[in-house]
Amino acid sequence: MGLTDTSFEVLLTLWRVLVVGVVWTEEICGQCSGVLLSHSIADLTHMSSRVVKNAPKLNGSVDGRETWSGKVDFLLSVIGFAVDLANVWRFPYLCYKNGGGAFLVPYCIMLVVGGIPLFYMELALGQFNRKGAITCWGRLVPLLKGIGYAVVLIAFYVDFYYNVIIAWALRYFFASFASLLPWTTCDNPWNTLHCRTFDTNISYMFDDSYFVDTYPGNSSLVEDRLDRNSNQGYNSTWYTSAAQEYFNRAILELHESEGLHDLGTIKWDIALCLLMVYLICYFSLWKGISTSGKVVWFTALFPYAVLLILLIRGVTLPGSLEGIRYYLNPNFSAISKAEVWVDAATQVFFSLGPGFGVLLAYASYNKYHNNVYKDALLTSLINSATSFVAGFVIFSVLGYMARASGKSIQDVATEGPGLVFIVYPAAIATMPGSTFWALIFFMMLLTLGLDSSFGGSEAIITALSDEFAIIGNNREIFVASLFTLYFLVGLASCSQGGFYFFHLLDRYAAGYSMLFAVLAEAIAISWIYGTDRFCADIKDMIGFSPGIYWRVCWKFVAPIFLMFIIVYGLMGYEPLTYEDYVYPVWANILGWLIATSSIAMIPGIAIYKIIITPGNFIQRLKILTTPWRDTQQRNADFSSVANGAVRRSFIADEDLNLTKEQQNLTKEQTEVMIQSRENVNGDPPPEPV
């Protein structure tokens, strides 16, 4: 006697309820897995056609995965991650250094042919597979599952030191609650006789230490100062700024350390600021995107408000137009130099941030049919536009500083931490209402850093939670443990010689390793998974397939783009230094071990999977380069009709005798077949090895 479709669905629902009870009882008893008896191939063919024939499209959280509460939460999270401190302290300087407005030509070309395609690729991968980096790559190309582990390890290393920058910003923020900013005077305990305050009568530059060549109209001051320095044994021809001494001697206390081998004591003011940063991160991430998606409404939008305010203030300062002219004045002869193109490609790549697993993790919480194409274009263009506007904010102030100090733009322009912790604070201190300007500036740095920190941490949490059920089921405990580990390791960067440790990680943790990881991603998608298949996946999500331009970029241009950066970078490699300090050989070896440890995950896990996979070598490669979805939808069977549980077996396609309709099931339809197992046990389905 046959069952009607309605009756069958009712019985199936009851059986699934029974499965929940059985599995719950097994878990209470400590039985982590049960043995499911397989039915015959005939049962599979008969039953799968009944269930999947009218399977609904998965949208939102039908598959049990949490989704963003609103589209804007996702967009702000991605923008907040991509727009970080480098947009403020690196792009403007690169633009000025590499031909001004002419630099925009190689920058835009690299953005269009390399940056945006890779950015789009990661977002699409995350949204389609709805998993973190490890599980996602295990499903796409099982042989290269190590890519997932590599990007997680890279994000792990970066978080060890990146949050220290945020701690510095927080320390400056607290120090700004004063009518007289502490980096404006030279009579503090940390100052030396080389210290100079910002004085329009003094030839002044902001960098490591500088030659005093002119003191217009104040020769008596020069003679008096030189005499005092000479009598006290100081080199009378060098001086430092008050802002520089505050950063190096008060905040970092670098003068108390001889190098990486001499970290000295922990600076507890910085350590407490670092602890506060991790507390903010914890309470923003412990509940997942339901909390972080709301926090970014402030942390992602506040920097734009401050940039607008600082831009308006900057262009009203004397000398600001001269600074902007230096920023944009085109020198088209510069773009004939290879290093200009390398700088453009490097800035595009590291600014957009593929390779950390963040974009993939964030997109995995999107609704399945979200228009990820539009999101990729919007967020990447906003990121680049922010960098461009930040240049006006920075160089308007540098022009003001150059005029006030009687120096040229070349003498005051710099990049990196020195720009935001020395040069800009010194300029702010000369403005009326300096306390207000300092507070909003360092709050902007704080929020810029926090957004990027949220992304890096979420990439790790999502990847490990999706791969290991025990972590996903205990997210709060795992996040607390992760941040505790970060804090303990981060204490090394909070010591008197901590900047040397920070600089080592900054150089090696995510440079070449991330480039190699994304190169492996591009090759895996374009040449193993297949560009046509990837485009079909995107069409299934958004209703239209990427055009020939995207296919060419993914398959040819993006890999060349990445290899171009890697080769040129390796050709110009030099051992690590900081100012006059040359890192010892063992430090550079340690740095390369850090860099290669993440990349080694890719061949290491590939070798492991080849070893444990049955069959001869060719058969193993065929299995390990077959996407999990293919194995899932063609080989899925009901192992127990009695309880409705579903699992896969690895049976040859011809033995299944599946209909054409069953062989062409979509990802969403086949996930319906296994969602009872996935939702009940909390485990991802087994992989095809």
98: buried, middle or exposed (CB in 10 Å: 19+, 13-18, 0-12)? buried
User: Tokens 């002419």 label which residue?
Assistant: 102
Residue 623 and residue 626: Cα distance in Å, rounded? Answer: 5
For 656-689, b where at least 16 C-beta lie within 10 A, e where not — what string? bebeeebeebbbbbbbbbbbbbbebbebbbebbb
Length of the chain: 689
Q: What does the CA dihedral 93, 97, 99, 103 come to, rounded to 10 degrees? A: -40
Angle at CA of residue 83, ends 78 and 86, nearest 5°: 145
Could you give the residue ranges of the DSSP H alpha helices within 353-406?
A: 358-363, 372-405
45 touches 643 (CB < 8 A) = no
Which residue ranges make up the annotated binding site for Na(+)?
Answer: 80, 82-83, 87, 351, 383, 448, 451-452
DSSP for 150-162 reads HHHHHHHHHHHHH
User: Tokens 């890279």 label which residue?
Assistant: 154
Could you give the residue ranges of the DSSP H alpha helices within 142-218?
A: 146-175
* Three-state DSSP class for residue 441: helix
Q: Tokens for 503, please give them.
A: 């600089």
C-beta atoms surrounding 193 within 10 Å: 13
**For residue 183, which phi and psi values (nearest 5 degrees)?**
-95, 20
Residue 189 and residue 206: Cα distance in Å, rounded? Answer: 21
C-beta atoms surrounding 370 within 10 Å: 21
Which residue ranges make up the annotated binding site?
Answer: 80, 82-83, 87, 351, 383, 448, 451-452
